Each structure stands twice: as C-alpha cells, then as structure tokens.
Amino acid sequence: MTAQPIRWRLGEASFQRVLLWLCGCLLSTAAMAQPNPLTLQEALRLARQNYPALKAKEKAVDVAREGVAQTRTQRLPSLKVSEQLNYGTTNATAGILLPFGTVIPTTGTFANEASYRGTFGSITTLYSEWAPITFGQYQARLDEAQQAVNVAVADLANDAFTQQVRVTQTYLELLAIERYRQVQRQDVDRVTTLGQIVGRLTKNGLRPGVDTEFANAEVAKAKLALFAAQDREARLRTQLATLLGTSAQNWQLDSAYITRLPSSVYLDSSATLHPQLGLLQQAIRLTDARTSTLRKSYRPQVALLGGTWARGSGIGANGDINWGVGGLPPNRLNYALGIGLTFNILDYARIRSQVRQESIRSQQQQDDFRQARLELDNQVSLADQRLQLAQQQAEQAPVQLRAAARAYRQQTLLYDGGLGDLTALTQALYNLRKAETDQLLITNQAWQTLLSKTAATGDFAPFFNALRP
C-alpha cells in the first residue's frame, strides 16, 4: 500500500497553515538580511533625538530656566502666619514692636516685683514684608539667572555639534572600512588564485617547491588582513550605534562619501560662529553678570512691613492671674505698618574681594576664548591646505591603480610562462594592493579633512553642500 502525500495526511487547512508559516519565515529571514538604508543626515537626526547625554543637557537647560522663574518669585512679598500657645511668667516690659530683623518683641506691663508664677497666653500673627526698592539688586539677580540659561543653551549647542562631528567621523570611518573589507576580500580571491597557479607549476616541476610556501604565506596574510578589517568594521558599527542611541544594525551607508570627492564650495568660511566660542562668550557674560550682582549686593534694601496679631492672656485688666486655660483664646487685636531699611556697612571688604575674584575669572575666560579662537583659525587654514593636497592626490591615485593592475597582470603572465620569478610577482601584488588602498583612502581622507574644517568652523552646511555637483 502506497503512502499518501503529506498534504492529504495533514489535511488541506493544516497544509496551508504550514505553507504560510514557511513563507513567513523566509520573508522574515530575507527582511533581516536586507540592509537598512542610513543617510548621514538621518544618522545625525537620530543622534540628536536619542543620545542620552544630549537629553541630559536639555534637562540642564530646563533647570536653568526654572532658576529664572525662581528669581522672579523673589519680587513677591512674603506673608507669614504663625500661632503660639504659651505658658510662662507674667514679668514683661511695655511696648509693641514688629518682628523685623533680629528684634525680639516683648509686650505687657512692668511688674512691681519679680514673680515666677505662670499663666496661659497665645498670639496669632499675620506678617508681611515686601521690598519694592532694591537699588538694582533684584534686576542684577534676574540678569544673572538669565545668563545662566544662555550658558546652558550654549553648552547644549556645543555638545550637540560635537556629537554631530563624532557621528560623521564614525560614519565616514565605517563607510571606508566596509569598502576596505571588500578590497581585502578581492585580495584574498586574487592570492588564492595565485596560490593555485603556483601549486600547479610546482607540482609539474616547473617551479621550486619554496614558491608554494611563499604563496601560502601570502594567502594567510591576506586572510588575516580581511579578519582585521571585519573586526574593525564590527567595532565601528557598534560605536556608531552607541552614538545614535540605538542598537547596531546592518546599515547601508551612503556610498557617495567614498566614491566622490567634495566640491570646492567649502573654501569660504570662518570660525566666528563656532559653538565652542559661543559657549565661552556666554561664560564670560555670566561671570560679568555675577560680578554686577556682587557689586549691587552692597546697596541697602528698603522693605514695607505690615502685620496684624491677636493676643490672648491669662492676666486680667486688674492684674489678676487666671490660673486656667482662659488665657488661650485671643482677646486683643492689634495691627501695625512700617518701613524697614537694612544696610550691612561692614560687608564692603568681603564683597570687594569677591568682585576682584570674579574679575580675574572673567579675564581668564577671555584668554581661553582667544586661545580657542586661535586654534580654530589655524585648524581652518590647515584643512584648506590639506583639501588642496587631497585634490592633487586624487588626480594621481587612478593613474597608480591602472599601472599597478597592468603590472600585476603582466607579472602573472610572465610567471605562468616561466619567464618571471615569484619575487617580482609578489612585489607587483603588493603594489596593486597598495594602489587599491590608496584609491580608497584618498577620497575618504578628503571628506575627513573637510569634516575637520567643519569642526573648526562650527557649520555643517558647507559639508553637505560639498556633495552637490
């Protein structure tokens, strides 16, 4: 009895489900193997959106803005409510004082003799202070808080720009190592074929056996170089994923940055708007604002005072002492208005020392600014020279590659025909390998040099414009 096909044993519906499952697996595998296109602009967007360190800098900006809001609340009057329930002696001195500064108010009548008998009492107060006149102190504190926001924003912009440079540099390096790996793969195939030729000739006695060992060594060397390229590629892919704030993927990078030289639109630019210089400028302004706040802190402060309070006392109008809790409820209501002025005369020496300290710090920051500006300008000048040199190198690289390829083919034919030796063939192979690597690296180095100029000028627009025809 012949066995029925599997489709009939499983049933029509089951067979269709299995078929669909197999198709899904094949499609999923194909989708996983399919490279994910990743342009440089998209990589920069992902890094700006996902990188945790930049998100932390954004939170620092929010913290600084809350500092401005907190400074504005210092303009509001204070309003304090307090309640006291007391039990104490009846000795006191007459008078009514508002609790301003360090004054301790005391009230009541002066007793004829000291008494240590106690009674209950209470006081409920509603007290307010408002300083409408600060002689510029409030505005100075507000300006300092706003400058702190500007520093935080400039710090975020500088870190974001530095992150863009790091992402672009890693992107270009990964693109170069991917192409270098392909070159090394071709070199492995080439030396493998060469090893087969050498093996055939030595087997037939046309070449000495030592040539086989040399050929095997070249094959092993080419494979080791390929493995090193694969390792470098894996590390760069992980590094790029970390900078993007995501997991490593099989990205398909933009090959234009490895096959085309940058155009000449990058020649006119300067470092005046560099984020690093902007951060240093904001730091100087913050120091100057802090100096202004210190100077104005020596000025007096005028405050409007107002209060109302209710007293409860266990001492009657005739001087009798109520021994119970009848003195706890308030039985007298009072109010008072006043103007207070505070001025710490002896603060001058302390504030003057702090002002001198901040002035020296401002001078130090200005020197740092000039140093950074000098270094950035020199980097721009160096990048311009290297870009011109890269253009000249790019003109000679194809000539070298064509000549090396012809020389290798000729040496291979000569060796195969018994007219050449392995030393000359190995040298030709080395020259061809170097020419292919030079052709690859010159273009990448041109973009890396343009990136170094971008890092010195602080503007990415020329970098992307250099890709246009």
Q: Does residue 455 lie in a domain region?
A: yes
Lowest mean pLDDT among 6-15, 43-52, 306-315: 6-15
- Quick one: pLDDT at residue 335? 84
Stronger pLDDT, 153 or 331, i.e. the higher one: 153
pLDDT higher than 50, residue 32? no
Task: Please indicate whether residue 387 or residue 365 has the higher confidence score (pLDDT).
Answer: 365
Report the C-alpha gap between 136 and 356 in whole angstroms. Answer: 20
Position 279 scores a pLDDT of 94
Neighbour-count burial of 164, counting CB atoms closer than 10 A to its CB (0-12 exposed, 13-18 middle, 19+ buried): buried
Q: Are residues 149 and 236 in the same domain?
A: yes
Considering the domain architecture, whether residues 115 and 222 belong to the same structural domain is answered as no
Same structural domain, 321 and 178: no
What amino acid occupies position 230? Q
Domain boundary residue among 313, 342, 371? 342
> pLDDT tens digit string along 311-363?
777 776 666 776 667 777 887 788 888 898 888 888 888 999 999 999 999 99
Q: Is residue 30 part of a domain?
A: no
Q: Supply the pTM of this predicted model.
A: 0.77
329 and 419 co-located in one domain: no
Identify whether 29 is part of a domain: no
> Does any domain span residue 15?
no
- Give residue 101's pLDDT: 47
Going by C-alpha positions, the residue among 255, 256, 251 that lies closest to residue 35 is 251
Confidence grade of residue 3 (pLDDT, cut at 50, 70, 90):
very low
Compute the distance between CA of residue 258 and CA of residue 264 in angstroms, rounded to an integer.
17
CA distance 132 to 399: 81
- 353: Cβ contacts below 8 Å, ≥ 6 apart: none
Q: Are residues 396 and 336 in the same domain?
A: no
Q: For residues 176-194, give the mean pLDDT.
A: 86
pLDDT score of 191 more than 60 = yes
Place of tokens 């009895």: 1
Say yes or no: 99 and 234 in one domain: no
Q: One-letter amino acid identity for 424?
A: A
Same-domain check for residues 319 and 411: no
Residue 31 pLDDT: 40
- Pair (324, 231) in one structural domain: no
Candidate ranges 273-277, 327-331, 422-426; pick with highest mean pLDDT: 273-277
Q: Give pairs for 77-81: CB < 8 Å, separation 24+.
A: 77/128, 77/129, 77/130, 77/304, 78/128, 78/129, 78/130, 79/126, 79/127, 79/128, 80/125, 80/126, 80/127, 80/128, 81/125, 81/126
Residue 8 forms part of a structural domain: no
Please indicate, yes or no, whether residues 433 and 310 belong to a single structural domain of this protein: no
Q: Which domain, by its residues, includes 242? A: 38-70+140-288+351-465
Statement: residue 8 has pLDDT above 90: no
Asked whether residue 417 falls in the same domain as residue 382, the answer is yes
* Band of residue 10 on the pLDDT scale cut at 50, 70, 90: very low
User: CA 167, CA 242: separation in Å to the nearest integer?
Assistant: 10
144 & 119 share domain: no
Please tell me which residue, 313 or 245, carries the higher pLDDT value.
Answer: 245
Q: Which helix or strand (DSSP H or E) is residue 161 part of?
A: helix 137-203
Residue 28 within a domain: no
Span 67-94, average pLDDT: 79
Among the ranges given (29-43, 184-198, 423-437, 446-460), the one the predictor scored with the smallest mean pLDDT: 29-43
- What distance in Å separates the CA atoms of residue 260 and residue 254, rounded to the nearest whole number? 11
- Please tell me the least confidently modeled range out of 191-195, 251-255, 395-399: 191-195
Q: How many CB atoms lie within 10 A of CB 122?
A: 19
pLDDT score, position 69:
94
Query: What's the structural domain count of the chain?
Result: 2
Q: Look over the chain and give the mean of its residue pLDDT values, rounded to a whole number.
A: 81
Residue 19 lies in a domain: no
Q: Is 208 helix (H, G, I), strand (E, B) or coil?
A: coil
- Residue 266 inside a domain? The answer is yes
Question: What's the CATH number where 428 sits?
Answer: 1.20.1600.10
Note whether 228 and 437 are within 8 A (CB).
Answer: no
pLDDT of residue 7: 42
Residues 234 and 358 in one domain: yes
pLDDT tens, position by position, 134-144: 889 999 999 99
Place of tokens 């620092």: 60
pLDDT value of residue 158? 94
- Of the pLDDT bands very low, low, confident and very high (cuts 50, 70, 90), residue 22 is low
Tell me what pLDDT residue 116 has: 67
Nearest to 326 by CA among 337, 334, 315: 315
Euclidean distance between CA atoms 315 and 132, whole angstroms: 40
